[in-house]
Structure 1
Amino acid sequence: MKTTLALLTPLLITLLISNPVSAFESDIALKVAVVKDAAGTQDIVKGNFNKSINKLTKRHQDESSYNSHMSLCVAYLQADNAKQSESACTAAIDSIEAMNLTNTNGLYLKSLSYSNRGISRYKNNNISGALADLNQAILIDKNTITLGNLKIIKQKAYRLASLSETSPLIAD
């Protein structure tokens, strides 16, 4: 456990915000996070999402780590493959939860993992799942990334609910 924390601590401090994700063209950009200097991260930041996915899936056969899952989560999301992204985000959450980290940095990473999956679920048109993940992220750690993402998705959910309430009914 101490070895895991010793290796993870430098990475916790070097998180990057990837290119903002626009789930729908009219949306304000949502923010996703990747671990700086993890495999595939440079390609993600440069916009080479498929190159990152290829590197990570080859590496993934040998090593299944939190960093790889988190990078795949964002790469798939940025490559408009929200289904694969959600699966990779879930694996990142499982990885970080298995570490049982309770320090500030560990909770921050866990929160960002839930936030990333919330965005994947949002892009999969699972608004309730997205809101559940983002609310869970806020319970774990109230940071500006997750708070901002939750605000944007709540606004979108409110707009969708308002539209469905005001839509004209079709008579038989």
Structure 2
Amino acid sequence: MTNPSGLRFTLAITGASGSAFGVAVLRRMSANPAVAHIALLLSPTGKRCLLDETGLTPRDLAALPKVGLRDERDLGADISSGSYRLDGMALVPCSAGALGRIASGVSESLVSRAADVCLKERRPLVLCLRETPLNRVHLENMLRVHDAGAVVMPIMPGFYSGPKTLDDLFDTFATRVLDQLGLREDDPRRWREP
């Protein structure tokens, strides 16, 4: 069941390379008329990667419509409760450390607690892992969260759409993430019959 006042999502950017993918997802969510609010979380290393890779700060992202920046240390925030109405969460990118904490049920930050709430409440949780190569621990953690109900969606952009720019790659991947959250949008870059 969806929120009658509009959909509410959480987006976390954690400390793995690929923060531009998270920015693309956030911008698309923010522009979607069905979305009423996005709780934005950044881990400490996520903030560093965001600045290093995009030149953006958390304040820049919080200036987007419908975005509310949350303190990832605030374990008493609304999104840490299962009774709070939320329609899903994505971690883009999801670091191997965040994956491990979620797979183990360790809620030491609002990022891992909000993800844990999505799993226990059976809400969509999309984990866009950005790590390579993968060791056995990463693979086992991916299987654990998958079996718990999460969608494991490593950042592997497609090239069938003939991307001309990096933004094309980011946006095509963002379309796929939004699909997993039930926000299906028209996108001319989708696979087409010849």
TM-score after normalising by structure 2: 0.31
Q: Greater share of strand residues, 1 or 2?
A: 2
Q: Which has the higher contact order (CA 8 A, sep 6+)?
A: 2
Larger Rg: 1 or 2?
A: 1
